[in-house]
Structure 1
């Protein structure tokens, strides 16, 4: 039996599901296939949720980055900028934005900080890059995991079929005895 360090995995540590060549060798030494399959499906659900969050987050970061770019362009204007901003899903208010060279960004957990346009652009660009990379990795992990789940489902079917065959053989031996 191989040690934990011998187990192949993808770059983010999701283990590769071994294909069971000889069921009779596998049944005696491995943890039940159903447990591995159940854990893989849980991980898949978590990754799907993560993907959904990232797919919602990326456009928000892009919109915020575009707004900071717009404000940067209007920085030297002598007149204020008027805009509508969203208070709620269907509720907007008009705002008068005086040129100031700074912007306030929500960081989460009811925290808002003031940044210069350059700092805000750097921060948002970094967050966007990280979110896009995370989404790419999550999609790759989901694809990898789907393949592993398929392998485990095939293993499960092979184990069940082997067990049915063993029971038939045992019944036939009992009947002839």
Structure 2
């Protein structure tokens, strides 16, 4: 029985594949002494899959916020670089000025004027209350690297969620088969232990 529960395969992130019960009688030999531990083990595995699914869903939600933010930052910096390269550094006219709105907090925006000739670097939040200054080229390189990493992670999370969904279904079918097998076994045991009925002549 213990061997049956050991995963034969895992997905690329090491999530074990659920075993599938074809015939309950092939894995349960001694009634209650086998059934109760097996049912508990299957229910525990099912809960583990559901916990992993919740964790992956949270990762998916985080990535769906993070990736657009990186893309927006990358677009802005690349626009600054393009604008900076397209103007003559000695030209003092308004072509060197970018007027833009930016977010102060969740509900408040304000307007800023940016002289592209004076803009050689940007500040990037790196997380954990850390902000660092990067030259434009380095900022683009860093954001592209992070974007690629997060997009790969998004692909992996989606694959894991699909894998978990399939295995949750398998484990739900397994537990239903075990439960139905036990119900039938108990019915047969009850019927065999009942006293015979005698018809009056």
* Superposed pair shares fold, TM > 0.5: yes
Structure 1 residues 21-50: Cα deviation after superposition (integer angstroms, max 9, x where no partner): 232343537462111111111111111111
Residue of structure 1 in register with 2:66 after alignment: 57
Residue 186 of structure 2, aligned match among 142, 162, 167 = 167
Between the aligned partners of 2:106 and 2:150, the Cα distance in structure 1 is 23
Q: Does 1:40 align with 2:49?
A: yes
Structure 1 residues 4-33: Cα deviation after superposition (integer angstroms, max 9, x where no partner): 5x6311111111101012323435374621
Residue of structure 2 in register with 1:94 after alignment: 111
Q: TM-score, normalised by structure 1?
A: 0.91
The answer for unaligned runs of 5 or more in structure 1 is none
Say whether the 8 Å CA contact 1:75–1:101 is kept in structure 2. no
Q: CA RMSD in A?
A: 1.9
Q: Does 1:12 align with 2:36?
A: no
Q: Does 1:120 align with 2:129?
A: no
Q: CA deviation at 1:2?
A: 6.1
Residue of structure 2 in register with 1:21 after alignment: 22
Q: TM-score, normalised by structure 2?
A: 0.81
Q: Structure 1 stretch 70-79 or stretch 34-43: which is displaced more?
A: 70-79
Secondary structure of 2:20's counterpart equals coil
Between the aligned partners of 1:3 and 1:122, the Cα distance in structure 2 is 47
Residue of structure 1 in register with 2:81 after alignment: 72
Q: CA deviation at 1:110?
A: 1.4
Q: CA deviation at 1:52?
A: 0.7
Between the aligned partners of 1:114 and 1:97, the Cα distance in structure 2 is 17
Structure 1 residues 130-173: Cα deviation after superposition (integer angstroms, max 9, x where no partner): 11111111111111110000000000100000110111111112
Structure whose alpha-carbon radius of gyration is higher: 2
The answer for unaligned runs of 5 or more in structure 2 is 29-33, 197-201
Residue of structure 1 in register with 2:170 after alignment: 151
Over 3 Å counting, the alpha-carbon distance change for 1:144 and 1:33 in structure 2 is same
